[in-house]
Amino acid sequence: MHNGKADQVTNAVATGRLKTGQCERWGNMTKHYDTIVIGAGPGGLAAAYALNATQQVLVVEANLWGGTCPNAGCDPKKMLYGVVEAKRQGQRYAKSGLVGTAQVDWPALMTFKHSYTDRVPTGTVAGLTQAGIDHIHGQAHFVGTDMIQVDGTNYTAQQIIIATGATPTLPDIPGQTAFQTSTDFLNLAQLPAKIGFVGAGYVAIELANIAVEAGAEVHIFQHNERLLRGFPASYTEKLRQILQAKGIHFHMNTNLTALKEAGQQVIVTTDTLPALTLDAIFAAAGRRPQLDDLNLSDLGIATKPQGIVVNERLQTNVPTIYAIGDAVAKQVPKLTPVASLEGRYVAQVILGQTQAAITYPAIPHTVFAGPELAQVGVTLDAAKQAPEQYMIQEQVVGNWYTYHRIQDQTAEVTTIQDRTTGQLVGAVVLAINAEELINHFAALISKHEKPETLRDWMPIYPSVASDLGYFYSK
Ligand X SMILES: Cc1cc2nc3c(=O)[nH]c(=O)nc-3n(C[C@H](O)[C@H](O)[C@H](O)COP(=O)(O)OP(=O)(O)OC[C@H]3O[C@@H](n4cnc5c(N)ncnc54)[C@H](O)[C@@H]3O)c2cc1C
Residues making up the binding site for NAD(+): 199-206, 286
Rounded to a whole number of angstroms, the minimum distance from the CB of residue 125 to ligand X is 13
Is there binding between residue 73 and ligand X (CB under 6 A)? yes
Enumerate residues 280-299 that contact ligand NAD by CB under 6 A: 284-287
Among 23, 37, 204, 259, binds ligand NAD (CB under 6 A): 204
Spatial separation of the C-alpha atoms in residues 228 and 164, rounded to whole Å: 25
Name which of 314 and 383 has its Cβ closer to ligand X: 314
Is there binding between residue 180 and ligand NAD (CB under 6 A)? no
Name which of 51 and 166 has its Cβ closer to ligand NAD: 166
Name which of 85 and 206 has its Cβ closer to ligand NAD: 206
Is there binding between residue 334 and ligand NAD (CB under 6 A)? yes
Name the one range near ligand X by CB under 6 A: 220-228, 308-316, 328-336, 456-464. Answer: 328-336
Is there binding between residue 366 and ligand NAD (CB under 6 A)? yes
Binding mask 235-274 for ligand X (x = CB under 6 A): ----------------------------------------
Name which of 294 and 397 has its Cβ closer to ligand X: 294
Is there binding between residue 69 and ligand X (CB under 6 A)? yes
Among 56, 63, 124, 222, binds ligand NAD (CB under 6 A): 222
Among 146, 213, 326, 412, binds ligand X (CB under 6 A): 326
Dihedral of the alpha carbons of 292, 297, 298, 300, in degrees to the nearest 10 = 140
Rounded to a whole number of angstroms, the minimum distance from the CB of residue 134 to ligand X is 14
Number of residues that bind ligand X (CB under 6 A): 37
Which 3-state string (H, E, C) describes the chain?
CCCCHHHHHHHHHHCCCCCCCCCCCHHHCEEEEEEEEECCCHHHHHHHHHHHCCCCEEEEECCCCCCHHHHHCHHHHHHHHHHHHHHHHHHHHHHHCCCCCCCCCHHHHHHHHHHHHCCHHHHHHHHHHHHCCEEEECCEEEEECCEEEECCEEEEEEEEEECCCEEECCCCCCCHHHCECHHHHCCCCCCCCEEEEECCCHHHHHHHHHHHHCCCEEEEECCCCCCCCCCCHHHHHHHHHHHHHHCCEEECCCCEEEEEEECCEEEEEECCCCCEEECEEEECCCEEECCCCCCHHHHCCCEECCEECCCCCCECCCCCEEECHHHECCCCCCCHHHHHHHHHHHHHHHCCCCCCCCCCCCCCEEEECCCEEEEEECCHHHHHHCCCCEEEEEEECCCCHHHHHCCCCCCEEEEEEECCCCCEEEEEEEECCHHHHHHHHHHHHHCCCCHHHHHHCCCCCCCCHHHHHHHCCC
Question: If contact means CB under 5 to 8 A according to the sort of partner, which of ligand X, ligand NAD, none does residue 69 touch?
Answer: ligand X
Rounded to a whole number of angstroms, the minimum distance from the CB of residue 240 to ligand NAD is 12
Rounded to a whole number of angstroms, the minimum distance from the CB of residue 250 to ligand NAD is 12
Dihedral of the alpha carbons of 82, 83, 89, 94, in degrees to the nearest 10 = 170
Among 192, 325, 371, 426, binds ligand X (CB under 6 A): 325
Q: Cα dist. 75→82, 206, 323, 338, 417 in Å?
A: 11, 13, 24, 16, 33
Among 81, 106, 185, 202, binds ligand NAD (CB under 6 A): 202
Is there binding between residue 428 and ligand NAD (CB under 6 A)? no
Among 44, 165, 201, 370, binds ligand NAD (CB under 6 A): 201
Rounded to a whole number of angstroms, the minimum distance from the CB of residue 256 to ligand NAD is 6
Enumerate residues 397-416 that contact ligand X by CB under 6 A: none
Name which of 213 and 276 has its Cβ closer to ligand X: 213
**Residues at the contact surface with ligand NAD, assessed by CB under 6 A:** 171, 198-204, 206, 221-223, 229, 284-287, 333-335, 365-368
Site residues (vs ligand X, CB under 6 A): 38-44, 60-64, 67-69, 73-74, 77, 139-140, 163-166, 182, 203, 290, 293-294, 325-327, 334-337, 339
